[in-house]
Every structure is written in C-alpha cells, then in structure tokens.
Amino acid sequence: MKQSFLVLRDESGFALITAIMMLFAATILGLMVLNSSDMEISLSGAQQRYERNLNTAEGAVGSEATAVGTAATITRSVSGVDHTRSYAVVDPGSHNQVLSPNASHDALFDPGGDTTAAGDAEYTVDINTPSDLWSMENLLHSDAATDNFLDYRYRVAYLYGTVPPKGYDATKFSGYRFQISAQRTSLIELGASKVGPK
C-alpha cells in the first residue's frame, strides 16, 4: 500500500501570518506603554495634590500661630462686617481650652459658608472634637469658590501653664503651652510656648 503526501511549496501565507503576529505583539506593547503613562500621570497628579494640601495646612498653622499668646488679632470680613479673633488666655487655670471659634453658630466659625448649612445642629468644639468639625477658614481669607482649594480646618488650644524658661523671674513670669492644629488632608500640629506675666 502506497501513501501519498501532499507537499505545499507555496509559503506566501506564512509572511501574512508572521506580519499579523508581529502587529499583535506591537499592539500589546503599545497598550502596556499607554497604561504605564496613564499610571505615571495619575501618580504625579496625586503627589501634586498632596503637596498643595500639605502646603495649605502648613501655611494655616503659621497664620494662626502669629496671633497666639500675643495681643494680635486676625480680622475677617463676613458679609461686609469686620469680625476679629484673638487667642488671649482669659483663665490660665482652665486647661485644654479651645481658643479658636468653637461654637458652630459663630460668624467666624465658617465665614465662607463652605460646610455649615442652614438647619444643621449647633455644636461646640472641645479638645476631643474630631478635626472634621473644627472651624474652617481660607488661607487668603477669601469666600470665592475658586479659592476653596486653600480652605482648611483649624483649632487653637491653650493646654496648660508651665514654668518660664531660664532667664525669667519665676515669681513674675509664667510659661503658657499652646497647641495649634490645621488640617486640609494632612494634619499639622505645632506646639508653642509663650512667656507672659504671672
């Protein structure tokens, strides 16, 4: 019994199949590169937002710290009326006092009206209140919606009295310990000690 085999001598289809396979591999590589580029853009955008929010919180802490333990006041115009806030300690014997606006109905609590809506329950901020309920302010003291990326929450608290540092007469001076906190997405806290009359 004789077997016959058919031998194909024309291999022109092989070039087409090879070209299709190479195009498929190039397409896969191109999609991988595009996906990698999208991920890098997303990561760099997240880094940029993080740095902007961190800088806002740091600027906020510095801004609030300028008035702590001094006679300085921060003036803010709310609906055309000037309001001032300062961080004077009225009763040094009362520890853990929140000195920033701590009543949600206070005009300076949220001067831009970004978070409090009409009908919201009123509350008072104390030393244990979570940061999402703290006072709100804008780094530029602006109420414009275009400046909302500079909004921050803050709390200034008088913690306790302490001894004055070396060089001060302990019978005439006292130390005062403060905590200044600001939050955008990052929470920045600054401890400050001031020296004043006993």
pLDDT per residue as tens digits for the range 15-65 = 778 888 999 999 998 888 888 888 888 888 889 988 999 999 998 888 888
Distance between CA atoms of 92 and 71, rounded to whole angstroms? 16
pLDDT in tens, 174-191: 788 889 999 998 888 888
Q: Is the pTM of this model over 0.85?
A: no
pLDDT in tens, 99-127: 888 888 888 888 888 875 545 688 899 99
Residue 26's pLDDT is 92
Share of the chain above pLDDT 90, in %: 16
Cβ neighbours, 10 Å, residue 66: 11
In a domain, 167, yes or no: yes
| Total structural domains within the chain | 1
Domain that holds residue 75: 55-197
Residue 154's pLDDT is 92
Q: Which residues share a beta bridge with 75?
A: 84
Residue 153's pLDDT is 93
In a domain, 162, yes or no: yes
Average pLDDT, integer, range 78-89: 82
Residue 9's pLDDT is 62
In a domain, 30, yes or no: no
In a domain, 134, yes or no: yes
Residue 144's pLDDT is 86
Query: Is residue 64 helix, strand or coil?
Result: helix
In a domain, 66, yes or no: yes
Q: Which residue has the tokens 């014997």?
A: 93
Confidence grade of residue 128 (pLDDT, cut at 50, 70, 90): very high
Q: Are 86 and 116 in contact (CB under 8 A)?
A: no
In a domain, 8, yes or no: no
Residue 152's pLDDT is 92
In a domain, 50, yes or no: no
Rg (CA), the chain: 32
Of the given ranges (8-17, 76-85, 86-95, 122-131), which has the lowest mean pLDDT? 8-17
Query: What value does the mean pLDDT of the chain take?
Result: 83
Residue 41's pLDDT is 84
Q: Are 140 and 111 in contact (CB under 8 A)?
A: no
In a domain, 32, yes or no: no
Sign of the CA dihedral with 67 first, then 70, 72, and 73 last: positive
Say if residue 193's pLDDT is above 60.
Answer: yes
Residue 8's pLDDT is 58
pLDDT in tens, 149-175: 899 999 999 998 887 777 777 777 778
